[in-house]
Amino acid sequence: MTAQHPDTTADGRASAAHPPILRVDSLTVGYGAIRALIDVSFELQQGEFLGVLGSNGAGKSTLLKTISGLLKPERGSISFGGRSLHGLSAYQIPAVGIAHVPERRRVFPSLSVLDNLRLGGYKVSRADRDAGLEEIFGVFPRLAERRAQLAGSLSGGEQQMLAVGRALMLHPRLLMLDEPSLGLAPVIVEEMFAKLAQIHRDTNVSILLIEQNATQALEVIERGVVLSTGRVTFEGSRSELSGSDFLREAYLGI
C-alpha cells in the first residue's frame, strides 16, 4: 500500500488548499418528532483522519447512517468528492467510494472469513479483489490464518478486524467506522487502533471515526468534531481537543 497523504499544517491538520472530499452542511435528521442531528456542518479533507466524538446518544451513529443513505435528512446536504449524495440509495453509496463499518461489526456469521472479504469486494475487479486480499492479510495476519474459519466463530476482536478488512476490499476513498472499540477488551482496542493508524499511514484513504472512547480516539485522529445532543459544540485539531478542560470534563470524560 502506497502512502499518498495531503499536505498538513504544523498541528497535523490537513491543508485546506484542496477541496474537501466530504462536506456536511446544515444537516438535520430526525426520528419522528425527535431531532437526532441539528444543523450539523463539517468538512473532511482527502487523506485526513477525522474523529466525531461525543457521549452515547449524541447523534454519532445517526450521522454515519445518513452519509451511507440508510437515513434521509430533513434538511441540509452531503457532498462527496464534489458530488451531491442527495437521492442516492444506500446500495448506491459504496459505488461512489464510501465504505461503512457498522456498530457491532455485522459480519456474516455462517460464511467463512474469506467469503466475507470477497463479498466486500463485489464492486471491484477480480484482480483488484485478489490484490486487496493480500493487502488485508498483510495488515491482519490473523485473518489469513483463519481464512477458512466461519466468521461467527471468531472472537470479537477478530470479527472487528474482519469488518474493517471487508470494508477495505471496496478500495474506498472514505472509510467510516462506528465505535470500533465497542465490546472489546482494552488490549484488543489498543491493537485495533494501532491497525487503523497503520492503514491511515500506508494508504490514501480518508477516515471518519465515530467513537465514544475519546482517550483512544485522540491517539490516532488528526482533528475532531464534538457532538452533544445532536449539535456540533466544538471542532479543532487533536491538540486543541486534548488541551480543552471544558471538553475533557463535559464531553470526553477524561
Q: Which residues of the chain have pLDDT under 70?
A: 1-17, 245-254
**Domain shared by 208 and 141, yes or no:** no
CA distance 165 to 32: 35
Using the Cα atoms of residue 117, residue 121, residue 122 and residue 125 in order, give the sign of their dihedral: negative
pLDDT recorded at residue 140: 94
From 140, 171, 202, give the residue that closes a domain: 171
Q: Check residue 6 and report its DSSP letter.
A: P
Give this prediction's pTM: 0.86
CA distance 89 to 95: 11
**Domain shared by 71 and 120, yes or no:** no
CA distance 181 to 147: 23
Domain residue limits at 144: 106-171
pLDDT recorded at residue 5: 43
From 138, 171, 204, give the residue that closes a domain: 171
**Domain shared by 154 and 121, yes or no:** yes
**Domain shared by 143 and 244, yes or no:** no
Beta strand extents in 140-200 (DSSP E only): 174-178
DSSP assignment of 189-238, as one string? HHHHHHHHHHHHHHS--EEEEEES-HHHHTTT-SEEEEEETTEEEEEEEH
- pLDDT tens digits for range 53-93: 988 888 999 999 999 999 999 999 999 999 999 989 999 99
Residues with Cβ within 8 Å of residue 142, at least 6 apart in sequence: 158, 161
Q: Answer for the pair 45, 20: CB distance below 8 angstroms, yes or no.
A: yes
**Domain shared by 183 and 242, yes or no:** yes
